[in-house]
Structure 1
Amino acid sequence: MSAEIVVVGSLNVDLVVSVSRRPEWGETVLGKGFFTGNGGKGGNQAYAAGKLGASVAMLGKVGDDSFGNQLLSSFEEVGVDTTSIERVPGESTGVALINVNDEGENSIIVSPGANHHVTPEYVRKHEQVLQQAKLVMVQLEIPLETVLEVAEIANKYGVPLMLDPAPARKLPDELYKKVTYIVPNESELSIITDSEVTDMKSATKASRGLLEKGVDTVFSKLGSKGVVVIKSDKTFSVEPYKVSPVDTTAAGDAFAGALATALVEGKDLQSATKFANAVGALTVTKAGAQVSMPPLNEVEAFLKNTNS
């Protein structure tokens, strides 16, 4: 197996319900609809890139259950290589319980299941897959020691590493030294830098702290305020696209998958960010995670109409 983009991360099935508000403890709230979808931050990013036509391979684990079958079939539909995905006997596939309100905002509870078994040993077994990649992507829904092992292997072979620091937590400095691209939203950027990020100015300041720790490029996703991109020798921002949000689930993952796709294709940072921003914007106009992600022709039509 050889792929230009290799994603190491979580694989979940999403159980989604629409609600007017989240219930308090001990309270029952009636929902207005329910559906299941495929998710997990790792799975979402691989699917997004695959749907855009990138060469993608996924490393991760699922349970020996129907949810695992569902995830594998979905990847194959968009050409994601699942050769290295392993099943864990006696363990459930990861599940995410997602509430979506009337404004399209979500709250999520994740039961990791088989994702706990994505170990450093498993990653080392597939070291050659990482070695042959042009870009490796990783997130924080798998054990941190595994994330560190992925970073070590990518660094060993000179393969750029993209880190999505979600769910956000304090990270060891040794990891930042091996990160080429990091793609936090403002909440995640606040947590990992221990600073308050509310606008472009504060995001720029926090991002420079990550550069000092060794990160090459920071993409700060600020929602309706756009994206701020910072390298040692340049800083620029990309305005958001105005759309009517339905569900923000997986918009950040779609952005990451699209950004990886554009970078591997050789797009410059500004063009890659605009492309990823468009993919993220289109994703929020539909309900669900992977099902809401646009194919390449839809993105190209959107950009053409927006720029005309």
Structure 2
Amino acid sequence: MSNVGVLGSINVDTTLHVDRIPQPGETIHVQSKSSAGGGKGANQAVSAIRNGAKVKFIGSVGKDADGVMMRDLLKAEGIDIECVLEDEKNSTGTATILLDEEGQNSILVYPGSNDSIRKSDIDEMKEELETLDILIAQFETPKEATLEAFKIAKENEVITILNPAPASEIASELLAVTDVIAPNETEAEVLTGIKVESVEDMHKVASYFHEKGVSVVLITLGSRGVFLSSKDTEKIIPAFKVKPVDTTAAGDTFIGSMASKLKVDLSNIEEAIVYGQQASSIAVQKPGAIPSIPKEDEVTRIYNL
């Protein structure tokens, strides 16, 4: 069983179900509204633990009802929340999701307490980080905290996985302590300036990150699968074809479930990617973020593993 840490966001998601995403200046009718736990960090942590990992969460919530709800939700999943801080000043993060009839979404995120995690907080958690096998982070919490956590991780031979979303400039110092980076096509373009339209473009993106010190590059391609580039191989691993209902937590489900199966020497990266895609293919067929994430027994049953 992998010991996975997740440094990341905790949000309460409100989903507005619409026929289509509105154009600028346009007012449209909302068919229905629903709320559930979310945030990229929380989604990835839940995906990892539901698929067999032991999980420790590092994050922050407000001292409000949403914060209590999210702490209780994570704890009920079996996630260690000793490193989830309570922010005295800011409310718990929220996300408003516009979800159309094709299962595609647009998301507005209010970071709230997610923005309050500091380098000093991470330093106080050093002993907790040293016990991990794998550490995952995204960009919905401050980068200075991620950099400090990844530095501690690398000093202790912990595998680091960076999901650079939402995409913004990455310091070379952070890439130098990143083992696996996993942007989607849009994020890859924002980060490298290379528009991903062909396999050759994917190779150029991968080369950019390899030159910065990243060992494994994964570019998630939605329904086409995942492009993998490492010292041993470079290929597209095809996705499993399904009809999506809600793609909100697709990438997070992939990251968390893949990490749950990943060996610390990365020797089974292809097998872990395939498992992550299987879990993600199930998640997109259900509404919501955390409610859609499958457990290991469901993945095993559906794909006869």
What's the TM-score bracket when you normalise by the shorter of the two chains?
over 0.9
SS of equivalent to 2:254: helix
Q: Output the amino acid matched with 2:289.
A: A
SS of equivalent to 2:304: helix
**2:303 corresponds to 1:298:** no
> In the alignment, what sits opposite 2:15?
16
**Deviation at residue 237 of structure 1 after TM alignment:** 2.2
Q: Output the amino acid matched with 1:280.
A: S
Report the aligned-residue RMSD: 1.6
SS of equivalent to 2:196: coil
Report if the CA contact (8 A) 1:135-1:264 is conserved.
Answer: no
State TM-score, norm by structure 2.
0.95
Specify every segment of 5 or more residues in structure 1 that has no aligned partner in the other structure, as ranges.
none
> In the alignment, what sits opposite 2:83?
84
Specify every segment of 5 or more residues in structure 2 that has no aligned partner in the other structure, as ranges.
none
Report if the CA contact (8 A) 2:161-2:180 is conserved.
Answer: yes
**Deviates most, 18-27 or 196-205:** 18-27
Report if the CA contact (8 A) 1:4-1:55 is conserved.
Answer: yes
Q: Output the amino acid matched with 1:50.
A: I
> In the alignment, what sits opposite 2:185?
186
**Deviation at residue 132 of structure 1 after TM alignment:** 0.6
What does 1:242-281 correspond to in 2, within 5 Å?
242-264=241-263, 268-281=268-281
Q: How many positions carry a matched residue from both structures?
A: 303
Report if the CA contact (8 A) 1:44-1:290 is conserved.
Answer: yes
Q: Output the amino acid matched with 1:289.
A: A
Query: Residues of 1 paired with 2:70 and 2:55: CA distance?
Result: 15
Q: Output the amino acid matched with 2:4.
A: I
**Deviation at residue 28 of structure 1 after TM alignment:** 2.7
> In the alignment, what sits opposite 2:5?
6
State TM-score, norm by structure 1.
0.94
Identity of aligned residues (%): 34
Q: Deviations over 1:64-90 (max 9, x none)?
A: 111111111111222111111111124
Q: Output the amino acid matched with 1:263.
A: L
Query: Residues of 2 paired with 1:27 and 1:269: CA distance?
Result: 45
**Deviation at residue 154 of structure 1 after TM alignment:** 1.1
**2:221 corresponds to 1:222:** yes
**Deviation at residue 204 of structure 1 after TM alignment:** 2.3
> In the alignment, what sits opposite 1:200?
199
What does 1:59-138 correspond to in 2, within 5 Å?
59-138=58-137
Query: Residues of 1 paired with 2:290 and 2:11: CA distance?
Result: 11
Q: Deviations over 1:228-254 (max 9, x none)?
A: 111123223211101110010011000
Report if the CA contact (8 A) 1:199-1:225 is conserved.
Answer: no
Query: Residues of 1 paired with 2:155 and 2:223: CA distance?
Result: 38
Q: Output the amino acid matched with 1:272.
A: A
Question: Residues 50 and 250 of structure 1: is their aligned pair in 2 closer, same or farther, counting only changes over 3 Å?
Answer: same
Query: Residues of 2 paired with 1:199 and 1:275: CA distance?
Result: 25
Q: Output the amino acid matched with 1:159.
A: V
Report if the CA contact (8 A) 2:194-2:204 is conserved.
Answer: no
> In the alignment, what sits opposite 2:151?
152
SS of equivalent to 1:84: strand
Q: Deviations over 1:256-302 (max 9, x none)?
A: 00111010488711111100011111111011101000010110122
**Deviation at residue 25 of structure 1 after TM alignment:** 4.7
**Deviation at residue 24 of structure 1 after TM alignment:** 4.2
> In the alignment, what sits opposite 1:169?
168
Q: Output the amino acid matched with 2:274.
A: K
Q: Output the amino acid matched with 1:192.
A: L
> In the alignment, what sits opposite 1:212?
211
Q: Output the amino acid matched with 2:170.
A: L
